[in-house]
Structure 1
Amino acid sequence: MNIFFNMRGTIVRQIAEDRALAEAAMNPPRRTSSPPRRTSSPPRRTSSPPRRTSSPPRRTSSPPRRPSSSPDDRPSTESVQMNNSSNSGVILDISTLKMAEVDTEVPPLPPRYRFRDLLLGDQTFQNDDRVQVEFYVNENTFKERLKLFFIKNQRSSLRIRLFNFSLKILTCALYVLRVSLDDREDVNGDPCAKCQNNSTADSADINWCVIFWVTRREPVWAIQVTVALISFLETMLITYLSYKGNIWEQIFQISFILEMINSVPFIITIFWCPLRNIFVPVFLNCWLAKGALENMINDFHRAIQRTHSAMFNQVFILICTLLCLVFTGACGIQHLERAGKRLTLFDSFYFCIVTFSTVGYGDVTPQIWPSQLLVVILICVALVVLPLQFEELAYLWMESQKLGGNYSRHRAQTEKHVVLCVSSLKIDLLMDFLNEFYAHPRLQDYYVVILCPTEIDIQVRRILQIPLWSQRVIYLQGSALKDQDLMRAKMDDAEACFILSSRNEVDRTAADHQTILRAWAAKDFAPNCPLYVQILKPENKFHVKFADHVVCEEEFKYAMLALNCVCPATSTLVTLLVHTSRGQEGQLSPEQWQRIYGRCSGNEVYHIRLCDSKFFGEYDGKSFTYASFHAHKKYGVCLIGVKREDNKSILLNPGPRHIMAAPDTCYYINITKEENSAFIFKQEEKHNKGIPVSGLYDAPSRLPVHSIIASMGTVAIDLQNPSPPEESSKLTLPTENGAGSRRPSIAPVLEIADSSAILPCDLLSDQSEDENNQSDEEGSVGSDFVKGYPPNSPYIGSSPTLCHLLPQKAPFCCLRLDKGCTHSSFEDAKAYGFKNKLIIVSAETAGNGLYNFIVPLRAYYRPRKELNPIVLLLDYPPDNHFLEAICCFPMVYFMAGTIDNLDNLLQCGIIYADNLVVVDKESTMSAEEDYMADAKTIVNVQTMFRLFPSLSIITELTHPSNMRFMQFRAKDCYSLALSKLEKIERDKGSNLAFMFRLPFAAGRVFSISMLDTLLYQSFVKDYMIGIARLLLGLDTTPGSGYLCAMKITEEDLWIRTYGRLFQKLCSSSSEIPIGIYRTESHMFSTSESQNSINVPQGEEHRERGESWKEKKAHRNSTTSDQSEHPLLRKKSMQWARRLSRKNVKPSSRAERISQQRLNLYRRSERQELSELVKNRMKHLGLPTVGYDEMNDHQNTLSYVLINPPPDTVLELNDIVYIIRSDPLAHMPEESQTGQPRRNQQDFVSETRDETHL
């Protein structure tokens, strides 16, 4: 151990000596003969560096000593230092090394060798070696500090430039003052005072003395000298600070030369008094003032961080240049004319203005050649300088028009605006947004700032130049990913930001990625700005979940197309609900169906608190069903949903168990909101006087037709049952006191629901039905279905929905319809033996959005017997990920093929299909020519329309304007009349000008762009997206109902009116009707129809309708069937002929023969198509029986009536849209827990009878 400690002490001493020698070598002490003094400061160098020896000091010059040696045996420190000084020239102060302590005891280990210091840290040891480093020491010099103050620092340099500008303006003002005080006859004893002061008007005789010498008073001279001295010193300082190695470059600058000309002469006059009256062109300081002002403006913009000021700077420079030219010319001509005509300063200014404006009156002109030469020089300078600046200004103006300028901060803070971010702006998208946004009265004062990265389109520019939009729409070219462009749009002050995706892109995923980045950038820049985002693909929706409102295009599209198959024209119903309309479309038409269809299209969804409502305030404490029925009966409004104050979820038709409370928010369908309605309480008095009263729906619209941005007027609503408008042709509801003919089978709607009277929905009885009807369902797989949640969701963010599922997942091979496998040998739809009609979906690829087509059709509330098989006809086979998501659903199959291949259509079972859904293909959404993206789809659908006339084809188009080509008849007089009507409504400014097209009214065509208004309406109605998702089945909220439909049969016609149907549904099954889908026979002109083979069938159908109506003569119906009203039919045909400009002559015998030949030709064409289809079916080995049974039902028209008046007469085959309450909400606790109930069968059968009337 002693040896170890001795060795350790020796090592420590050697390390200390090495450090001391190294420090001494780096900092040698002063060389002196006297012993060095021991101070705390390090040794200083002398003027001459110390001489070193050729060999460096060796480490072994003093060998290590034992700790036991006495201090007497060691040589003294002074002698060692003397020897070292004489040998090597380096003086070492050994006392600074603290060797005394080392000799007496063993020194402690450094911290890195001790475990305690390793844990506690080596702060003391590190502090001894720490060196403080100062940065940017180059800026501490005097020159750099001056440069920082005068040039680099924004605020200080701005103050300096402002002071310099003030000096230059002061010198110009002093020059004007000196000119006004000048006396040309007296030069104050100057050397030329003895010259002849009198000068004539002859330009050849010039008095040069009055040009070189002026009269300058002492105060003016003193101020000018002071200003010149300050300017001179400042110029020298700035020149010194700006020196970069080339002094001549700075000397020959124009600003430096002007400074010398205007300041040095005044400084010389300080030392030479006779030169005090010499002329100095001080007016040239205006150009220096112009430069100082430009620099000051630049510094000011840099200080406030305003980067987009090029246009302002250029205009400012141009104005300053013109002012300087005029001021220089006026002062120069006035001074030179002192030797001539003696013009005043104002005369010279007038001459310059007249000359530069190219007017040239000639009343004031220079007389001597020096002034004339100056005019020539000024004109040449103006011809060179001004065009360049005008060109630069024009270029900046054009660029600013492209970029759109800025939206000022003052406007953003004092006015309200929204920002619309798009990747490319098309005219249709812009007009849809503007028409829908400004259709609301309270948005009339809002501004729309469009932020688009592309240059503005020519058509868009024309639209924005219309005075209606030019004052409220601002186009900015820029990117939402740049904070500068977001600052230009004042995103942080915006009321909302709409971010729309470009649906016409080939790569829709890339378009979604751009939308996501825009949403992130907007949220990062303005966290408090509400975001309204439109996304295309459902798998990208969770990236923008933070947005306030999100609309996924494919989710809504597929869900809407799916509901179109079970609830006809759901797409038309939802489209009309989400468009703002006043219900005035088609009111001037003689067609009855167009008037009522246009009037009911004005219904929208509104909300109000129960305690603030006159519609629903009296139903506080009553059941929801009671409030809905009586509000519709009394006011004509349809209460469809409610939201509790303590719950964020909206409930559609929560059922009779829901008791209305004052804080509840009510959602209802009406023409206008309650706040814009007036109430008339004089109905009974008018009835007593025999005065007929018109209700909301009966009389023609009393409101004038305004533009789309006009504020909504007041609607008068009568409080009792409306009277019939036309000779009592409509039935009225029975009054509350028992008067009238109320049928005893319709029970009253109870105020408070009786638990014993609430019947569970028949949809929960599927298991019992299967048990009772086991013999009928033999061979069917329906009994094997279970209810549950799909185990595999294809994307993140899909709402879980309780569905009918298979007990076990189907193998992927069994999902292929046209190929057999080891589990099944079926190879076509006929072999499967489906009991229900097929639903065929034609799509390009199996995207994740297609999952939302299957879920609503397999929802738990769909009866098992009514489930339709679904066949996916895909251009490209689906991947395993998609198959994994759909293999749990029953009766879902796929097949590779296209709709333009007849064999594929026949193999997938189009003969046995009830609906064919044609989804717009992504690869055809973009076309070189606008509106040509739908060309292939339209032609293919038209072909199927000819081949399979009874098939219901639901088509999605890219452009809504192309729907006029669906089921196109080139010579159809009625279709041409509808085209004229559409143009008339568009000219009136209607948002729903396309609503009268027969394919749209019937729900046969749909464009996703029609749902863009859903996102726009959410700015005013933040609940619209949620209600739309509940209606379409995209979201399922516990206790909320769902949309379904029921058909009116002959057994249901005893109900007679829509109001009685409302009462029947509310009292029996607690269902809320919201509209009617009506189909009428319409005889199109056979001479213009392309498919007239089944016209006799249409006639037969009409005769059957007439005979049935004769049997039901007691029904005073106001049906719009044209055969019932010959006069109305005659007027409508006249109206059609007038609009289409067709002059129909009386038919002659030759025309009848020609018509018969044409019918035979068309019949043979139909037969030819039939033979073609049958031959292909025989070739494929398919039976042709089903094709022979197909009938042509094309001579009909269908339309949707949203919330019709209570006295609307029901007709045969009417389909009523109803919101059915949640079946799970009515389930008893035993059934919810899974316990069987034996008495459920009787309960269910009674419920089913009541539900189906």
Structure 2
Amino acid sequence: MAKEIICVREFKQYLLAMNCRCRGASTLLTNLLHQRRPMDIYHESWQAQYDDGSCNEIYMDKPPAALIGLAFKEAAWIVYIECQVILFGVKTRLLNCEHREILLNPESNYIIKEDDLCVYMCESPREIDDVNALNYTFVRNKLEIMKARRRHYASKSKPDFPMPTASRSSSFRNELLQSIRNSSKLQNLQEQQQQQLETEEAAPLQQLQQAQSNTTLHPSGPPSPTKLLRRSTSNESNRSIPRQIFSLARLPTPRLALLTGSRKLISRLGQLGLDHTDQDESSPLCFLLETPATLEELTIQSTDFLNGHILVCMHHKVSNIFKFIYNLRSPQLKPNELQDIVFLCTSLPTDKTFERVSRFPKVYFMLGDCQHPEDLIKAGVMRAKQVVVMSERECLDQYQRSSDSPAIMTSHLLDLLLKDKPHDASRIVNLVEKSNIRFMHLLQGKDVAEEVDVFYTPAYAAGNVVVDGLLSNVLLSQTYYKPDIVSVIKALCGMPGPLYDKDTAHILMCGTHVRSKLFSHSRHLMLVVMPPLLIDKCFSFLFENLVMDHDVLPLGILRAPDEHMGNELSFVYTNPVSSLIMRRSDKIYVLASPGWNYFSQ
């Protein structure tokens, strides 16, 4: 019986969805699957930093004696400071469980055990040898010195000089944060106003809107009746979008649960009755509508009621979208983080396709051609936070020679329409053939060779392109000789594991039961803004501050365009060197709790 079943096209959907949730995540994760040597010559300075991070891979090994018995965050700190290796998870054996489970950034009280497997991110096996060579006495002394230094500065309210690697005291940090808290709130003003409008619209049913903070799940059954409500109105069509009441719930049938790739269900494939309609306790959790919507209800003629939504450009009929939507309705997200999704397509989904997605909230369909500017504008492309351009082989017509032709043409049209794109908006283009990425540079005024190294193209380095061809061979080979790597990547993508989508907190504290209050402590991949106190500090300072003070594990940064470095687009820098100085425009890839915010700590 296969332990890992993964389809490249479906895995691609998770990457596309993760890019919407966490910009550049596709580059960060795909690079960890590939093995390659650094470049010999760098034409632009940004490539040196990107190359340093892109050569990292995932390794798993037994913990050395020096790490056994340490709290996870202490082990992560010493491994990075001494070896520039990021320890970001463990594979551990659980009680009453047949398989080991991969835990990403476990709770701070997790202790490294002798029979664990540590999950590392580093450049080569030589760094793993350095970790295994750590001396027990040296590690304990180093940790004691660090803790003593932190206690010393914590006893002061205002240090007289900056600390190179230690975090500032809580009282001093709180004083500074108080002065900038108002400015941080201004950034969320638009979102707060939108929430206020929705609350006013739903005034007669205010009691239903407590789900954002009180959503509860029965340990072994369906969710409580606490729900979230949403109503929107399309001005152009002069009709109301039906109220949507949704909450965390299990996928209603084993057939839908199996589509998520849950290994728990795959292992029972021969015994599972897929036509059985009752909920199975192995079904993954996600946000679902209380009552399935109809296609007529979700087919819209205008997006005037939407702002900051995800626009998905389909070149043919809507198909193969279940996993894309499922990832964006993950229980790892908070209810107010669920973005509206609009599919722009030339024909509506079939009944079978729509049946799979009819329970997902805030999903809409609009008829139109993504290669027509007026249809893109009508679909709200100027107000969308993310625009996803899909590419599928079956969308070709008789005049198109490449399966990527429609996606490339749509991308070029978006270049023209979005010259003054909204703040923090991004575009993600899916390509089938990696060689076609050279056409993504035509509007950047650069000469592009016929053969290009995909990994070093600006569009790929920024996470703006997801290429099927980069995934096919590597997933096949990695599954054969490093199956754990695929499991780690699936965990980082939010794909269900053997314990039906439970997180670290549930596994360690609840066993086989689900307690919704612990979802606030789960850890997943997210991108956060650079805290003001960490600007102009080195990455080792940032690493220690986040790991030791917040139990948040940094994996890398997303660097903004910089004319001095020559990067016209942002680029992903995985596992930066400890001396790298942080900029105000940097964003940080972290494994953190849902909705974690430095300012709220």
TM-score normalised to the size of structure 2?
0.70
Kindly report which structure 2 residues correspond to 1:138-177, keeping only aligned pairs within 5 A, or say none. none
Distance in 1 (alpha carbons) for counterparts of 2:256 and 2:198:
36
Question: For 2:22, which of 542, 567, 581 is the aligned residue?
Answer: 567
Specify the alignment match of 2:431 in structure 1.
957
Identity of aligned residues (%): 26
Distance in 1 (alpha carbons) for counterparts of 2:292 and 2:552:
35
Distance in 2 (alpha carbons) for counterparts of 1:677 and 1:927:
56
Distance in 2 (alpha carbons) for counterparts of 1:816 and 1:567:
28
Residues 998-1048 of structure 1: per-residue CA shift (max 9 Å, x gap): 111111112111112122123331201111111111215433455432333
Distance in 2 (alpha carbons) for counterparts of 1:668 and 1:674:
12
Question: For 2:310, which of 838, 842, 850 is the aligned residue?
Answer: 838
Structure number with greater Rg is 1
Distance in 2 (alpha carbons) for counterparts of 1:936 and 1:811:
29
Cα gap change, 1:914/1:1248 in structure 2, threshold over 3 Å: closer, same or farther? closer
Q: Secondary structure at the match of 2:330?
A: coil
Specify the alignment match of 2:125 in structure 1.
673
Preserved CA contact (<8 Å) 2:66 2:139: no
| 1:638 and 2:86 are equivalent in the alignment | yes
Residues 379-433 of structure 1: per-residue CA shift (max 9 Å, x gap): xxxxxxxxxxxxxxxxxxxxxxxxxxxxxxxxxxxxxxxxxxxxxxxxxxxxxxx
Q: Flag the structure with higher helix content.
A: 1
**What displacement does 1:662 show?**
0.6
Specify the alignment match of 1:1216 in structure 2.
588
Question: For 1:591, which of 20, 44, 55 is the aligned residue?
Answer: 44
Specify the alignment match of 1:1066 in structure 2.
547
Preserved CA contact (<8 Å) 2:429 2:466: yes
Distance in 1 (alpha carbons) for counterparts of 2:294 and 2:131:
63
Kindly report which structure 2 residues correspond to 1:76-475, keeping only aligned pairs within 5 A, or say none. none
Cα gap change, 1:845/1:859 in structure 2, threshold over 3 Å: closer, same or farther? same
Specify the alignment match of 1:744 in structure 2.
168
* Paired amino acid for 1:644: T
**What displacement does 1:631 show?**
1.4
Cα gap change, 1:921/1:898 in structure 2, threshold over 3 Å: closer, same or farther? farther
* Paired amino acid for 2:415: F
Aligned pairs, how many?
Answer: 470
Specify the alignment match of 1:367 in structure 2.
none
Residues 638-686 of structure 1: per-residue CA shift (max 9 Å, x gap): 112111245422122222232210110111101112587458999xxxx
**What displacement does 1:736 show?**
6.7
**What displacement does 1:547 show?**
3.4
Question: For 1:1199, which of 560, 564, 571 is the aligned residue?
Answer: 571
**What displacement does 1:1054 show?**
4.4
- Gaps of at least 5 residues in structure 1 are 1-545, 683-717, 721-733, 748-768, 819-827, 987-992, 1083-1120, 1123-1131, 1133-1194, 1224-1246
Cα gap change, 1:796/1:744 in structure 2, threshold over 3 Å: closer, same or farther? closer
Distance in 2 (alpha carbons) for counterparts of 1:1054 and 1:573:
22
* Paired amino acid for 1:672: S
Specify the alignment match of 1:804 in structure 2.
287
Distance in 2 (alpha carbons) for counterparts of 1:618 and 1:903:
63
| 1:816 and 2:299 are equivalent in the alignment | yes
Preserved CA contact (<8 Å) 1:645 1:665: no
* Paired amino acid for 1:639: L
Preserved CA contact (<8 Å) 1:681 1:719: no
**What displacement does 1:839 show?**
3.5
Distance in 2 (alpha carbons) for counterparts of 1:1076 and 1:1206:
12
**What displacement does 1:743 show?**
4.2
Residues 46-85 of structure 1: per-residue CA shift (max 9 Å, x gap): xxxxxxxxxxxxxxxxxxxxxxxxxxxxxxxxxxxxxxxx
**What displacement does 1:841 show?**
4.1
**What displacement does 1:965 show?**
0.9
Cα gap change, 1:884/1:997 in structure 2, threshold over 3 Å: closer, same or farther? same
Specify the alignment match of 1:557 in structure 2.
12
- Computed over aligned residues only, the root mean square deviation of the Cα atoms, in angstroms, reads 3.5
Distance in 2 (alpha carbons) for counterparts of 1:891 and 1:1053:
36
Cα gap change, 1:802/1:881 in structure 2, threshold over 3 Å: closer, same or farther? same
| 1:624 and 2:48 are equivalent in the alignment | no
Distance in 2 (alpha carbons) for counterparts of 1:911 and 1:775:
22
Preserved CA contact (<8 Å) 1:746 1:1064: no
* Paired amino acid for 1:1059: S
- Gaps of at least 5 residues in structure 2 are 151-161, 172-190, 203-208, 213-227, 230-245, 263-282, 505-521
Question: For 1:779, which of 166, 188, 201 is the aligned residue?
Answer: 201
Residues 1190-1231 of structure 1: per-residue CA shift (max 9 Å, x gap): xxxxx832111111122222112322111225x7xxxxxxxx
Cα gap change, 1:918/1:1068 in structure 2, threshold over 3 Å: closer, same or farther? same
Q: Flag the structure with higher strand content.
A: 2
Specify the alignment match of 1:1007 in structure 2.
467
Distance in 1 (alpha carbons) for counterparts of 2:29 and 2:2:
23
Preserved CA contact (<8 Å) 2:555 2:589: yes
Distance in 2 (alpha carbons) for counterparts of 1:660 and 1:1004:
37
| 1:893 and 2:364 are equivalent in the alignment | yes
Cα gap change, 1:577/1:1250 in structure 2, threshold over 3 Å: closer, same or farther? same
* Paired amino acid for 2:433: H
Preserved CA contact (<8 Å) 1:1030 1:1042: no
Residues 295-315 of structure 1: per-residue CA shift (max 9 Å, x gap): xxxxxxxxxxxxxxxxxxxxx
Q: Secondary structure at the match of 1:913?
A: coil
Specify the alignment match of 2:101 in structure 1.
649
Q: Secondary structure at the match of 1:862?
A: coil
Distance in 1 (alpha carbons) for counterparts of 2:131 and 2:333:
41
* Paired amino acid for 1:635: C
Residues 213-245 of structure 1: per-residue CA shift (max 9 Å, x gap): xxxxxxxxxxxxxxxxxxxxxxxxxxxxxxxxx
Residues 71-113 of structure 1: per-residue CA shift (max 9 Å, x gap): xxxxxxxxxxxxxxxxxxxxxxxxxxxxxxxxxxxxxxxxxxx
Residues 478-506 of structure 1: per-residue CA shift (max 9 Å, x gap): xxxxxxxxxxxxxxxxxxxxxxxxxxxxx
Preserved CA contact (<8 Å) 1:811 1:887: yes
Distance in 1 (alpha carbons) for counterparts of 2:15 and 2:170:
33
Q: Secondary structure at the match of 1:1210?
A: coil
Distance in 1 (alpha carbons) for counterparts of 2:551 and 2:477:
33
Preserved CA contact (<8 Å) 1:636 1:1205: yes
Preserved CA contact (<8 Å) 2:92 2:115: yes
* Paired amino acid for 1:935: S
Specify the alignment match of 1:858 in structure 2.
329
Specify the alignment match of 2:157 in structure 1.
none
* Paired amino acid for 2:467: S
Specify the alignment match of 1:969 in structure 2.
443
Specify the alignment match of 1:1023 in structure 2.
484
Which is bigger in relative contact order (C-alpha 8 A, separation at least 6)?
2
Q: Secondary structure at the match of 1:618?
A: coil
Preserved CA contact (<8 Å) 1:606 1:667: yes
Preserved CA contact (<8 Å) 2:75 2:87: yes
Cα gap change, 1:862/1:995 in structure 2, threshold over 3 Å: closer, same or farther? same
**What displacement does 1:901 show?**
2.4
Residues 1127-1180 of structure 1: per-residue CA shift (max 9 Å, x gap): xxxxx8xxxxxxxxxxxxxxxxxxxxxxxxxxxxxxxxxxxxxxxxxxxxxxxx
Specify the alignment match of 1:63 in structure 2.
none
Preserved CA contact (<8 Å) 1:817 1:893: yes
**What displacement does 1:942 show?**
0.8
Specify the alignment match of 1:1233 in structure 2.
none
* Paired amino acid for 1:837: H
Cα gap change, 1:680/1:746 in structure 2, threshold over 3 Å: closer, same or farther? farther
Preserved CA contact (<8 Å) 1:1033 1:1042: no
Cα gap change, 1:719/1:803 in structure 2, threshold over 3 Å: closer, same or farther? same
Residues 1033-1092 of structure 1: per-residue CA shift (max 9 Å, x gap): 12154334554323334634447232222222223432211111111233xxxxxxxxxx
Specify the alignment match of 2:219 in structure 1.
none
Specify the alignment match of 2:174 in structure 1.
none
Preserved CA contact (<8 Å) 1:1044 1:1220: yes
Distance in 1 (alpha carbons) for counterparts of 2:6 and 2:77:
32
